[in-house]
């Protein structure tokens, strides 16, 4: 179903429209929502009209923000309006409005606004949009680059550990309880039964969380709603694992809020930053951004004082053409004259810097930027990124990404190329490190990532300095964004001087003269030779996939699907392999989930009645949290 011409709708507007329907009309709602596809048409004065028959017309009048934020902006001409099925169906077919276009709910945030377009939602956009998520911060003091004056850090910038924890207020506790109830019902229903009525309950709870000052909880609920919609529409960009993770994050945050033990989770969705101050950043690399929802652009990764990562993004509608062209577009920051290619190999001294919670640099009116000399990867402080032990660096990177649930920060290491191994390259970390898989960061054939990795794979024994993002869901896997020569290595890259010792794999194309003479065992002309044996994969070898399949079955088919999957002769097929592998806690939690899903209580007359979703949701959440922790532990151990 396409709803591209329908304006976004505030969550509370849709929730109120569904609540006004009778039980009989609610049963027809999903079928009527499906009928809205292709019926929307532009009306006068910027309105959008959807016609049902000859006498019924639903009109949406978006406000200045482009979204429907009040019930009076959606009207229907039928006799039952506004408690009619047509109005609720049109609102249910429209996309959900993001929080940045809704009226403010509560006191304004002390954080300065960050200019530029908002990146698409990662759950709705799918894995292709993950490149637009900015890297986080790694707190470690490092010396500054020689020849560049030291700039004081912008006042007000604080690490996450310095943000004081606050206890949730009574309103936030109530909002957490409402979120838990709505999420538990949605989980018990699953994708198959998670229609507009179930989504409306989640949207009502999300609005309650927003009014209580819980933007993180609101965003988690909206992510689940968008995931349910995409899954029900059988969108290609939706992965069941993403929706499972969204349910886990929503339920985990809601249960902490409802139990009055949320701590920092009940605080603001973003850390507070003060305007003003100076910030000097050094370019690291460029990364193309290509979203499944039509966004395209570039993200330039930067290194600030204390080894903190920053990003400067230029992401707008335009798709592949925008992603390819933005790599050389001008940097819109404080009148700077650099483009993104120059910034990735140079630096900026920023006065009046504004920084968002995830390290993105803002372009406010008072921001002024002056180009400064950059630093090669062999110079400090950038060289310190590659000197850290890889196991220690991976642990810090994954821990930094965990609180935000976004993409992991960048990781640097020196490796030796072993050769091609299936869909990736096998490399060994220099100094006796582990065997690591290099996978393509952006697999689109029009981007040079794949061609560059294929050419690198044709030079076994090549020493390579790699900067990339570790994959938190795969054992010892790094998705490289840029590569460079290893200082002092005899068999390494030979890059042009103007590249400043690094090649951006998403924009620069490696040629034959960038490589040393092929080793005797290398394939001719840099073509990948025979596949090599990849390193062990403890995550794939562990039987945890059985638990993951059970959890995803519950998300797809609801409570009944979990009960059916654990019945009959296959009941022992779930816990026995887990216990044989020593995963007894995972086996116990999976058995408890299956037993709770199959529980069928009876009333005092012996008649079957619907079981409460609360106990089922707690059993599902316990198993999901344990699985996530176990998989993360195996991934971290694979880097040893």
595 three-class SS: helix
Confidence label for 165 from pLDDT (cuts 50, 70 and 90): low
Mean pLDDT of 74-100: 89
CA distance 638 to 640: 5
Mean pLDDT value of segment 588-592: 93
Cis-peptide into 82, omega within 30 deg:
yes
Which of 151-160, 398-407, 563-572 shows the lowest per-residue confidence on average (mean pLDDT)?
151-160
Contacts 24+ apart (CB under 8 A), 28-34: 28/85, 29/85, 29/88, 29/89, 29/92, 29/195, 29/196, 29/197, 30/195, 30/196, 30/197, 32/85, 32/86, 32/88, 32/89, 33/1, 33/89, 33/92, 33/93, 33/195, 33/196, 34/1
- Judge whether 298 and 340 are in contact, CB under 8 Å: yes
Please, which pLDDT band fits residue 402 given cuts at 50, 70 and 90? low
d(CA 466, CA 413): 6
Q: Which of 474, 481, 406 is nearest to 440 (CA)?
A: 481
The DSSP symbol for 573 reads: G
- On the question of pLDDT at 623 being above 70, the answer is yes
Whether pLDDT at 137 is above 70: no
Confidence of residue 112 (pLDDT cuts 50, 70, 90): very low
- Comparison of pLDDT for 633 and 123, the residue scoring more: 633
Percent of the chain's residues with pLDDT above 90: 50
pLDDT number for residue 100: 57
What's the confidence (pLDDT) of residue 611? Answer: 77
Q: Are 361 and 371 in contact (CB under 8 A)?
A: no
Asked whether the predicted pLDDT for residue 582 surpasses 80, the reply is yes
pLDDT of 127 reads: 33
Instruction: Determine the average pLDDT of the residues in 343-348.
Output: 92
pLDDT attached to residue 109: 38
Lowest-confidence range among 174-178, 299-303, 471-475? 471-475
Q: Let me know: does 314 contact 329? Beta carbons within 8 Å.
A: yes
Look at 80-84, 245-249, 527-531, 562-566 and tell me which has the smallest mean pLDDT. Answer: 527-531
User: What does the pLDDT average to over 219-236?
Assistant: 87
Q: Tokens for 342? A: 């120059």
User: Is residue 118 scored above 80 in pLDDT?
Assistant: no
CB 374 within 8 A of CB 500: yes
Weakest-pLDDT range from 64-78, 174-188, 331-345, 576-590:
331-345
pLDDT at 438: 94
Mean pLDDT over 12-25 rounds to 94
Per-residue pLDDT, averaged over 278-285, amounts to: 92
pLDDT value at 520 more than 80: no
Please name the residue that has the structure tokens 């179930």.
198
Q: Look at residues 487, 429, 488, 480 and name the one whose alpha carbon lies nearest to residue 455.
A: 480
Judge whether 185 and 204 are in contact, CB under 8 Å: no
Band the pLDDT of 290: cuts 50, 70, 90: confident
Q: What is the pLDDT of residues 269-279, one digit of tens each?
A: 444 444 546 88
Instruction: For the chain, give the mean pLDDT.
Output: 81
pTM to 2 decimal places = 0.79
């Amino acid at each position: 179903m396409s709803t591209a011409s329908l304006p976004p709708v505030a969550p509370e507007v849709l929730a109120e429209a569904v609540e006004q329907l009778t039980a009989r009309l609610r049963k027809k709602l999903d079928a009527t929502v499906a009928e809205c596809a292709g019926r929307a048409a532009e009306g006068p004065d910027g309105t959008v009209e959807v016609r049902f028959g000859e006498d019924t017309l639903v009109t949406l009048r978006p406000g200045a923000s482009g979204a429907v934020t009040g019930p009076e902006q959606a009207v229907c001409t039928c006799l039952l309006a506004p408690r009619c099925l047509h109005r609720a169906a049109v609102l249910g077919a429209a996309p959900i409005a993001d929080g940045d276009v809704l009226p403010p709910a509560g006191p304004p945030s002390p954080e300065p606004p960050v200019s530029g377009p908002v990146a698409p939602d990662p759950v709705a956009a799918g894995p292709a949009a993950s490149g637009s998520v900015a890297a986080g911060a790694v707190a470690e003091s490092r010396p500054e680059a020689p020849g560049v004056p030291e700039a004081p850090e912008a006042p007000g910038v604080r690490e996450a550990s310095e943000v004081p924890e606050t206890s949730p207020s009574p309103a936030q506790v109530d909002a957490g309880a409402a979120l838990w109830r709505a999420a538990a019902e949605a989980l018990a229903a699953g994708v198959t039964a998670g229609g507009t009525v179930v989504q409306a309950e989640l949207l009502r709870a999300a609005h309650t969380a927003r009014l209580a000052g819980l933007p993180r909880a609101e965003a988690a609920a909206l992510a689940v709603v968008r995931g349910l919609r995409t899954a029900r529409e059988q969108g290609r960009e939706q992965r069941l694992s993403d929706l499972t993770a969204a349910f886990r994050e929503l339920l985990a945050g809601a249960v902490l809020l409802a139990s009055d033990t949320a701590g920092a989770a009940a605080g603001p969705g973003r850390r507070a930053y003060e305007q003003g101050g100076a910030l000097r950043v050094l370019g690291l690399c460029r990364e193309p951004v290509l979203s499944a929802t039509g966004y395209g652009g570039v993200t330039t990764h930067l290194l600030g004082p204390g080894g903190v990562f920053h990003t400067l993004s230029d992401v707008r509608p335009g798709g592949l053409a925008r992603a390819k062209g933005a790599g050389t577009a001008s940097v819109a920051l404080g009148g700077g004259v650099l483009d993104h290619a120059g910034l990735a190999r140079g630096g900026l001294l920023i006065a009046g810097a504004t920084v968002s919670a995830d390290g993105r640099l803002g372009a406010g009116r008072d921001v002024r930027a002056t180009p400064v000399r950059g630093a090669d990867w062999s110079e400090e402080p950038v060289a310190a990124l590659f000197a850290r032990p890889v196991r220690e660096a991976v642990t810090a990177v994954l821990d930094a990404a965990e609180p935000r649930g976004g993409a992991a920060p960048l990781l640097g290491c020196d490796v030796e190329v072993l050769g091609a191994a299936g869909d990736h390259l096998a490399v060994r970390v220099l100094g006796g490190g582990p065997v690591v898989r290099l996978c393509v960061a952006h697999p689109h054939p029009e981007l040079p990532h794949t061609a560059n990795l294929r050419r690198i794979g044709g030079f076994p024994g090549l020493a390579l300095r790699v900067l990339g993002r570790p994959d938190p869901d795969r054992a010892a896997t790094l998705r490289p964004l840029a590569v460079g020569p290893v200082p002092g290595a005899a068999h390494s890259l030979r890059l042009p001087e103007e590249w400043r010792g690094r090649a951006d794999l998403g924009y620069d194309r490696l040629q034959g003269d960038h490589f040393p003479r092929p080793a005797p065992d290398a394939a001719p002309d840099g073509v990948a030779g025979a596949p090599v044996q990849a390193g062990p994969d403890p995550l794939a070898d562990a039987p945890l996939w059985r638990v993951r399949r059970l959890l995803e079955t519950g998300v797809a088919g609801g409570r009944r699907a979990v009960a059916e999957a654990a019945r009959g002769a296959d009941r022992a097929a779930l816990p026995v392999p887990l216990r044989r592998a020593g995963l007894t806690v995972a086996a116990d939690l999976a058995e408890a989930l299956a037993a709770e899903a199959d529980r069928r209580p009876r009333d005092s007359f012996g008649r079957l009645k619907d079981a409460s979703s609360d106990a089922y949701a707690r059993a599902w959440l316990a198993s999901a949290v344990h699985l996530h922790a176990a998989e993360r532990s195996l991934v971290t151990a694979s880097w040893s």
